[in-house]
Structure 1
Amino acid sequence: MPTPARPTRRAALKGLAAAFAAPAVLRRHALAAPSETVRHASFGCSGMALADVQSLAASKHFKLVAAADVDLSRTGEIKKLFPDVKIYQDWRELLDKEKGLDSVNVSTPDHMHAPIAMSALQRGLHVYGQKPLTQTIYEARRLTEVAARSPKLVTQMGIQIHSHPVHRQVVAAIRSGAIGKVKEVHSWSGKDWGDRDPRPDRQDPVPDGLNWDGWLGVAGARPFLAGYYHPGNWRKRLDFGTGTFGDMGCHILDPVYEALALTAPKSVRSDGDVPGADSWGLDNRVHYVFPATPHTAEELSLHWYNGAHRPSDEVKALLGKHEMSGQGSVYIGTEGVLYSPYIDAPILLPEDKFKEVKLPEVAGADHYVQFLDACRGEGAASAPFAYAGPLTEMVLLGCLATRFPQTTLEWDAATLKVANVPEASALVRKKYRGGWEVEGL
């Protein structure tokens, strides 16, 4: 089949938009027959949150009722696009006062994903949560459990590429046995959400309209530093983001995880950069070992690279005339190789062997409209927390491994512990700041 042009990730997403304690008692309306209109609230008003809202608005059934953002200076565009929206600065106040909601999107910095999503689920609301689903492994497990106990609530993680036809094609090709049983996978991203410089020794005035205490949320108190955390660089910081791996791993490893029907890894090891006192490392190289599945030749070896690191020359040689893309995966099977550039058509290699082989024809879907339709009782979400939670756990375990370099961490998924490194187990869960505790977390 012809190879389509390579869109940017943002353009692809825009195209998609167009085309251990039980939770609190759920509100009755959330379990009732769906109405024609889905009454929605957004947590976040700009950046990815605004993109999510605009994408959800592709459904004629969508109505934005309310939105919350700790920075009121960043609410202008959403008010312009949705003049009737009610704006809050405190997400807790929104949940307490808006009694007629059906669904929410959680599109905040990573450290607030779990507290807001859990609070929404406990109020009987359907939840669209941006990736990574949570900032810690423990939070991901808890959201997965609570969502499982509330089967009438619809959940979806914002791995929009999950519904893109080229990613669906990768899954279909691997599942069809096109390259035989898969022996190893190499996945990478050229992004470098990290920092080697120490945190600046200064304190800046908090801008007008920003509730800094609210922005910190469950994280520990600290001075405001202009440009260091808010609005964009929080992804680099240990207490607020998950670095490049957490940012892009949920996208790029999604088809790997699904196609091979992976379960929790047995072990993980990092041989790349070590995070500093405040920030994630820049250049990661992480190796997982997974139990065998029906789609693997034996135990699966999965290699992740980001920043300056890339797969070896031996892996690059498997691509033949094809240049290695900025982001993507190479699946090495018993009968051949599948090269999957990120958001581009997969290629079977060597080409001489597969020139007569046609990849499975698959259709894509609008990840956002799919969620809203499921909220109304039509169809189902394709990346519910039952799937997204374990995927996020796997990715975050790789992030955790970077904090213990040159050490193979033996993972016990049942107990959420690193069997051989107690210090690593201590970072599976974090303590919330006093006054910001959330039931169930």
Structure 2
Amino acid sequence: MSLLPMNRRSALKAIAGGLAFPAILRSGARAASPNETLNHASFGASGMALADIRSLSASPHLRLVAVAEVDLNRVAEVKSLFPEVRVYQDYRELLDQETDLDSVNVSTPDHMHAPITMEAIHRGLNVYTQKPLTQTIHEARQLTRAAADRGIVSQMGIQIHSHPVHKAVVATIQGGAIGEVREVHSWSGKQWGDRAPRPDRVDPVPEGFDWDGWLGVAAERPFIAGWYHPGNWRKRLDFGTGTFGDMGCHILDPVFGSLQLTSPIEVRSEGGSPNDHSWGLDSVVRYTFPKTPRTAETLTLTWYDGDCRPPAEIVALIGDRRLSDQGSIYIGSAGVLYSPYIADPVLLPAERFADYDRPSPEADNHYLQFVEACRGNGQTSTPFSYAGPLTEMVLLGCLATRFPEQSLSWDAEAMRVTNLAEANRFVRREYRKGYEVEGL
């Protein structure tokens, strides 16, 4: 039997029907482009997942056909908006049963981003995955490789990347306005961490909530109401990535992109550290990067979160302006760029840039850009080839907070901390039995 005329949908139907074509399922061949309307599924049905669903389905060329949601108490709204949508509790069942899919969004807690995304890639599905792309550096590296090998369309959910102010920062830095950048200070006032111990209690699992499925790849543990689900998982070591992971992929995105950063060579945490169960508060993490065409011989990038902010001498560079709750300050050989988060960048000193021709880029719709790229029209702006290395950089900072006041030397090619062997056990995680995924 000739396999040449068989497209991805017919191949997956054959597999579902009991035929095995692993060369098709696992090969690097690009999935056939859908004709007009994408058949789409969402992993997650409420919160950020519902926001992603709304934004993606704003396209007339995308049809939501299925959602996977471990908490059936949180599906009413998506069912009211999309009455025909099929609901699954187990993401694996959705992927096995829905053989006509073209694309998915993965909008779950951080610890399930990589396993679900990788399973989708194995099936040749185009993937929109929320930030941070993964919870570990190893997962980010593997998803980047798998997406490239499979030739799928990918996008990470850092929608600010497509906003005009983000583009203006990148264009201004890359246009050379402030010269070679030697130092960047970035911060977020969010506080996704916790100093309190884990409560010593066990609560009943609510009816309709699959606690085992929510744990997914993480080790088994008792359910504690409000401690993990639905929102506080971001604070917990096994499920989220703290403030840094939550906001670093947004705020450091223009830093990473405009300066064309590669992997850092060293990272050091000088702020709060995690306890046994939760990420720390008030992080201060300093990276050292090698030279790029946009930087001095070395670049230092310092991240602050919670109540921590850049030192007074750095804040003084923006004059009498109020420091925003989130943002960055770039210090170059020819000036300073102050970039409040989602606000117009400011060039300083003001008199030097009075006649500067400021870029005025147009906005893109980050979500519809993905939909159109899946249909063969254009490309995404944050494919995993970009989002993976960005995520690795951020997660290395999260890792560093586990080892305060220690400078960690990083070998990116080997994915290893070379001067502290103990740190390497956090580069990769072990998946719980029954939730193992090929390639991770």
TM over 0.5: yes
**Are the counterparts in 2 of residues 329 and 341 from structure 1 also a CA contact under 8 Å?**
yes
Corresponding residue SS for 1:184: strand
**Are the counterparts in 1 of residues 31 and 125 from structure 2 also a CA contact under 8 Å?**
no
Aligned equivalents of 1:361, 1:429: Cα separation in 2? 41
Aligned equivalents of 1:333, 1:315: Cα separation in 2? 12
The one-letter amino acid of 2:237's match is L
Aligned equivalents of 1:263, 1:140: Cα separation in 2? 15
**Are the counterparts in 1 of residues 44 and 106 from structure 2 also a CA contact under 8 Å?**
yes
Match of 1:60 in 2: 60
Correspondence list, 1:94-173, <5 A: 94-151=94-151, 153-173=152-172
Q: What do you get for the CA RMSD once the two structures are aligned?
A: 1.4
* TM-score when normalising by structure 1: 0.94
* TM-score when normalising by structure 2: 0.94
Match of 1:14 in 2: none
**Are the counterparts in 2 of residues 24 and 122 from structure 1 also a CA contact under 8 Å?**
no
Match of 1:289 in 2: 288
Displacement of 1:33 after TM fit? Answer: 3.2
**Are the counterparts in 1 of residues 30 and 150 from structure 2 also a CA contact under 8 Å?**
no
Match of 2:89 in 1: 89
Match of 1:371 in 2: 370
Displacement of 1:428 after TM fit? Answer: 0.2
Match of 1:331 in 2: 330
Match of 1:301 in 2: 300
Aligned equivalents of 2:312, 2:236: Cα separation in 1? 32
Aligned equivalents of 2:165, 2:424: Cα separation in 1? 37
Match of 1:414 in 2: 413
The one-letter amino acid of 1:271's match is E
Displacement of 1:26 after TM fit? Answer: 5.0
Match of 2:386 in 1: 387
Flag the 1:385–1:23 CA change in 2: closer, same or farther, 3 A. Answer: farther
Displacement of 1:322 after TM fit? Answer: 1.2
Aligned equivalents of 1:393, 1:201: Cα separation in 2? 34
Summarize deviations over 1:372-391 as a string: whole Å, max 9, x none: 00000000000000000000
Displacement of 1:23 after TM fit? Answer: 9.4
Aligned equivalents of 1:55, 1:84: Cα separation in 2? 18
Match of 2:346 in 1: 347
Give ranges in structure 1 of 5+ residues lacking alignment.
1-21
Aligned equivalents of 1:298, 1:27: Cα separation in 2? 42
Aligned equivalents of 2:100, 2:368: Cα separation in 1? 20
Corresponding residue SS for 1:25: helix
**Are the counterparts in 2 of residues 23 and 122 from structure 1 also a CA contact under 8 Å?**
no
Aligned equivalents of 1:283, 1:230: Cα separation in 2? 23
Q: How many residue pairs get matched?
A: 419
Displacement of 1:29 after TM fit? Answer: 11
**Are the counterparts in 2 of residues 30 and 102 from structure 1 also a CA contact under 8 Å?**
no
Tell me the percent identity: 65
Stretches of 4+ aligned residues off by more than 6 angstroms: 27-30
Aligned equivalents of 1:28, 1:137: Cα separation in 2? 23
Match of 2:32 in 1: 32
- More deviation, 215-224/351-360: 351-360
Aligned equivalents of 1:413, 1:29: Cα separation in 2? 28
Displacement of 1:321 after TM fit? Answer: 2.1
Summarize deviations over 1:377-434 as a string: whole Å, max 9, x none: 0000000000000000000000000000000000000011000011101110010011
The one-letter amino acid of 1:25's match is L
The one-letter amino acid of 2:81's match is L
Match of 2:47 in 1: 47
- More deviation, 355-364/112-121: 355-364
The one-letter amino acid of 1:132's match is P
